[in-house]
Amino acid sequence: MNYAFASRSRPALLASLLAATMLLAPAASAQSFSDDQKQAIEGIIKDYLLKHPEVLQDAMNALEKKQQDADAQKARTTIKDNNATLFNSAHQVVLGNPQGDTTVVEFFDYNCGYCKRALPDMLTLLKTDSNIKFVLKEFPVLGEGSVEAAHVAVAARMQDPTGKKYIEFHQKLLGGRGPADKAHALAAAKDAGFDMARIEKDMNSDEVKTTIDEDMKLADALGVSGTPSYVVGSELVVGAVGLDSLKEKIAAARK
């Protein structure tokens, strides 16, 4: 599900609008009109829409915006309710400034093409913004290889709480060629200088299971269904939106 945006499809919205429009008058006046009258009203509505299809477009745009606003409000409430787990969990990777004034949380999958493209955005933010706290949440939804890679990644985090070696591992695995899986993840961990015997031991530990379960439950609560997805301040940001957009969201969160 490596995608740029998640919403109801426009064809689905259009179908809903058409159905609602055609049924509205008869349903609202079932006690007032005869069958012939209701049929005539339906014909009038249909003729009007055929002559003025832009009305449907306007209504569809309004409905889509209303749904987006509702989704955004739901996300804000969920972020507030899960603030401690989202931003300060004991089971997460923290990069940048742990005491930063703004936190960016990223849900990612090591096999996500858009996550790979977004990697330079994170690295640039870490280099140029000394007040950013960047949190990484495992969201392995793209197959068994992603799950295996996530297990190794959490094991790497367990022996590097500062994140200094972890970020090297993260870049090697996410930025590497080929699919991410256990073999590629172990190779990246070895190249980054981790204790491989401990990695092999920890990757199947309760801590790994707890970490991934926590991240998956958070993503589900937020309505995250694809990667990358970010939480910036009180806003859920879906997709690889680019460095400039992330900077704008961060600036807004600081106000």
Strand spans (E) along the chain: 93-96, 102-108, 132-138, 229-232, 235-238
Residue of 24 and 207 predicted with greater confidence? 207
Which helix H or strand E contains 8, and what residues bound it? none
Q: Indicate the CATH number of 90-253 among 3.10.20.740, 3.40.30.10, 3.30.310.10, 1.10.357.140.
A: 3.40.30.10
Query: Do residues 216 and 207 lie in contact, with contact meaning Cβ atoms separated by under 8 Å?
Result: no
Residue of 50 and 61 predicted with greater confidence? 50
Show me where the domains of the chain are located: 10-81, 90-253
Per-residue pLDDT at 4 exceeds 50 = no
Helix, strand or coil, per DSSP, at residue 175 = coil
Least confidently predicted of 76-85, 102-111, 196-205: 76-85
Over the stretch 51-89, which tens digit does the pLDDT of each residue have? 888 877 777 777 667 766 677 677 788 999 999 999 999
Label residue 54 exposed, middle or buried (CB < 10 Å: 0-12, 13-18, 19+): exposed
> Which residues partner with 232 through β-bridges?
104, 235
Report how far residue 62's alpha carbon sits from residue 150's, in angstroms, rounded to the nearest whole number: 40
pLDDT value at residue 202: 97
pLDDT value at residue 155: 97
Label residue 44 exposed, middle or buried (CB < 10 Å: 0-12, 13-18, 19+): exposed
Report how far residue 118's alpha carbon sits from residue 229's, in angstroms, rounded to the nearest whole number: 10
pLDDT value at residue 2: 41
Query: Do residues 13 and 63 lie in contact, with contact meaning Cβ atoms separated by under 8 Å?
Result: yes
DSSP 133-156: EEEEEE---S-HHHHHHHHHHHHH
